[in-house]
Amino acid sequence: MNKFNRKFVRNKPLKETGTNGIEAQTKNYAKKKGCWVRKFSSPTQRGVPDDIFMTSSGFIFFIEFKSPNKKPTHKQELEINKILNNKGIVIVVDNLRQPGVDLWQQDFPIPIRIWHDGFAAIDSMLLF
């Protein structure tokens, strides 16, 4: 079998842990709830949040996805702080179904919310 005739495995189950599984499942959940979701990247600026979300009512927020119990890097902290200073909303999601949310204050104008449940984070933003 040559490289052009390989069969690709589709519908592989996503891992619930690790950034890719958390991100994919949270984004799918948001889309099912009517959110517009796009990967957010800036080739010239490192540390920007992973994705931008907009609810059906037009409310915009950013999510930074981390592996369980990991916090943003220093560059990510700086970028999050810039967004918060401009009245933006940034959420850090590090899990899918672990209950609770921590408020993380570290030289930020408002506490950053670290959600341990990506689905609950989306549900909370849909209230706006």
In order of their start, the domains of the chain are 36-125 (3.40.1350.10)
Q: What is the pLDDT of residues 17-56, one digit of tens each?
A: 556 788 899 999 999 999 999 998 888 888 899 999 999 9
Output 33 or 97, whichever has higher pLDDT.
Answer: 33
pTM for the model? 0.77
Query: Which helix (H) or strand (E) segment is 85 a member of?
Result: helix 74-85
Which of 39-65 are b and which e, b meaning 16 or more Cβ less than 10 Å from the residue's Cβ?
Answer: eeeeeeeebbbbbbbbbeeeeebbbbb
